Amino acid sequence: MKQFLLRYAVAAGVLCLIGLQEASAQAVRLMGMITDADTRTGLPGVTVWNKRSNMGAISGETGRYYIEALPGDTIEFSSISYVRTAYVAPGISATRNVEMKRHIMGLQGINIRGRIYKQDSLAIREEYERYFGYKRPGALDVLKTLPSNPITALTYLVPSKARKRREKFGEQLKYWEEEKHIDYRYNPDLVAKITKLESPELDSFMLAYRPPYNFLLNATEYDLLLFIKQSYERWQKQRGELRKDSSN
């Protein structure tokens, strides 16, 4: 019992020391816009990763990002079909815009800017595996860990902003992985080939009839083509009814 209490006291002391060290370190706030280097448009769903703290964030719908770091931390940016890029955090909070270049693959002397969704998706899954499957530790985890590692068990009991950030980051990773899977299969080239639509009508149609992730996960190519065909028929019918109402 005395040995356990001693280990408990040492663990508490270590936690206090860590807390003091973190409080003394002056974090900086980094933000900005992530864009495609060619089109200059904002890139949503880019993983923004602090390589020291092993914490990350995801860029928003317009490509804007926000992350905290310590001066000297390496901030890395990665996204499917784009070349990774990084910069070192400065000594003060700052706005830093980032341009990302697409992967370029050579094929018989011809440069092709293409999607390598499957390879990149597997790589991201492997790199951030613990965040994809992250679960908040419960009482059973505390009881199992306490005898062998009281320091870790105590961290489970203390409310942690870092743990909340891990949970949120894991949720964001899953969301953007699903969105990119949809974009990969339900792409403008395929939809335009079937519907013969052109922008801006093509964009409106694809947004209105965007298929759910669970459907595409198990759908064959035939299922997807049939979905697009039937959706386009409904689209034409609705447009016909709108024209009829407006004429009346």
pLDDT at site 218: 84
Instruction: Assign 5 a pLDDT band (cuts: 50, 70, 90).
Output: very low
Contact 106, 166 (CB under 8 A): no
Q: What is the DSSP letter of 42?
A: B
Q: Could you tell me how many residues make up the chain? A: 248
pLDDT at site 202: 93
Q: What mean pLDDT comes out for the span 112-132?
A: 62
Cα separation, 34 vs 97, in Å, equals 6
Integer CA distances (angstroms), 104 to 83, 100, 116, 189, in order: 9, 12, 10, 19
Determine what percent of the chain is predicted with pLDDT higher than 70. Answer: 64
Q: What is the pLDDT of residues 143-192, one digit of tens each?
A: 666 666 665 555 655 666 766 777 788 888 888 888 888 988 899 999 99
Exposure string for 116-150, b = 16+ CB within 10 A, e = fewer? eeeebeeebeeebeebbebeebeeeebeebbeeeb
Q: What mean pLDDT comes out for the span 214-239?
A: 90
Q: What is the pLDDT of residues 183-196, one digit of tens each?
A: 888 999 999 999 99
State which of 33-37, 133-137, 241-245 shows the largest mean pLDDT. Answer: 33-37
Crossing angle for the helix pair 221-247 and 201-208, to the nearest 10 degrees: 110
Q: What's the chain's average pLDDT?
A: 78
Higher pLDDT among residues 80 and 35, named by residue: 35
pLDDT at site 243: 75
Cα separation, 204 vs 44, in Å, equals 19
Q: Is the pLDDT reported for residue 112 higher than 80? A: no
Residue 98 token pair: 């980032």
pTM of the predicted model over 0.85: no
